Amino acid sequence: MIRTGQVVTRIENHHSPRSTNVCVTTERGDVYRARHAIVTLPIGVLQESEKLFSPLLPLKKRAAINAIGVGKVVKVIVRATSCWGATGFISTDYPIPTWWAWPTREGHRGALIGWAGGRAAIALENSDPDEIRSLAIWTLRRIFPDACLSIRRDDIYVVNWMQEPFSKGAYSYDSLSLQTRDEHRNGLGEPEWGGSLLFAGEATEVTYHGMVHSAVTSGRRAASYVVDAKRERAKAT
């Protein structure tokens, strides 16, 4: 059974002599109990969710969460009549510096993707969406000065990942030495509460962090742990 629209406000460890269970409470007041819970929260959300867990996560786990860097990204999607021809990837020194064209289906309007990361994203972090839309139009008119870009403000969709409550930033990045980086990412992926609380997500992966591939891989790892634990319980009965 899949429950959507359920914002979790509490994850508790309920231990008894017979079993170790996890109790999850949502903002609606609904309570779910299970032998295992898999936490896939982005690292930016985890860094602001220390009190979500009861008891608190071990100090080593909290240190790992706070040591991993959270990327800053503002993404802009612009629907427009194609005027960029075979143009692929564009890099500029404008406020929204990076652009690329989204493949266009015949008979449909095209799309341009604008990307501001790092320092460029920091400069835009506190801008409201309408300000960013204005910057997008300003930037595109300078990149394509001879083109008739017919862009309406309603055709521009802005995603400020730092302001998104369920991401609080983009993908993770390494801000430490290689040896310490591996230690923290592996530590973040370690099970807690006797194996009842599992962690997955791109930030738990050493090699492919920051990519969808790593999120999928880590999810499979956590799911395999749960399946193996179930098999072990079955053997013991």
Q: What is the CATH number of the domain that holds 117?
A: 3.90.660.10
Residue 1 within a domain: no
Residues 148, 81 within the same domain: yes
pTM reported for the whole predicted model: 0.86
Please tell me the predicted confidence (pLDDT) of residue 151.
Answer: 79
104 — pLDDT class (breaks 50, 70, 90): low
Q: What is the pLDDT of residues 5-45, one digit of tens each?
A: 899 999 999 876 566 689 999 999 999 999 999 999 999 99
24 φ, ψ (degrees, to nearest 5):
-115, 125
Average confidence score pLDDT of the chain: 89
Question: Comparing 46 with 4, which gets the higher pLDDT?
Answer: 46
Residues 38, 82 within the same domain: no
The residue out of 163, 194, 214 marking a domain boundary is 163
In the chain, how many domains are there?
2
Residues 110, 133 within the same domain: yes
When mean pLDDT is compared across 77-81, 132-136, 204-208, 210-214, the lowest value belongs to 77-81
The residue out of 163, 180, 202 marking a domain boundary is 163
pLDDT at position 105 over 80: no
How buried is 25 (Cβ within 10 angstroms: 0-12 exposed, 13-18 middle, 19+ buried)?
A: middle
Residues 106, 219 within the same domain: no
The residue out of 146, 163, 180 marking a domain boundary is 163
Please tell me the predicted confidence (pLDDT) of residue 56.
Answer: 96
Query: Which of 16-20, 102-106, 142-146 has the highest average model confidence (pLDDT)?
Result: 142-146
Which letter, b or e, does each residue of 116-131 get, where b requires 16 or more Cβ atoms within 10 Å of its Cβ?
bbeebbeebeebebee
Question: 52 lies in which domain range?
Answer: 8-69+171-236
Q: Which long-range contacts link 203-211 to residues 24+ away (Cβ below 8 Å)?
A: 203/42, 203/43, 203/46, 203/68, 203/171, 203/172, 206/181, 206/182, 209/171, 209/172, 209/173, 209/174, 209/185, 210/71, 210/171, 210/172, 210/173, 211/171
Residue 3 within a domain: no
Query: Which of 86-95, 143-152, 158-167 has the highest average model confidence (pLDDT)?
Result: 158-167
Please tell me the predicted confidence (pLDDT) of residue 83.
Answer: 65
Please tell me the predicted confidence (pLDDT) of residue 99.
Answer: 94
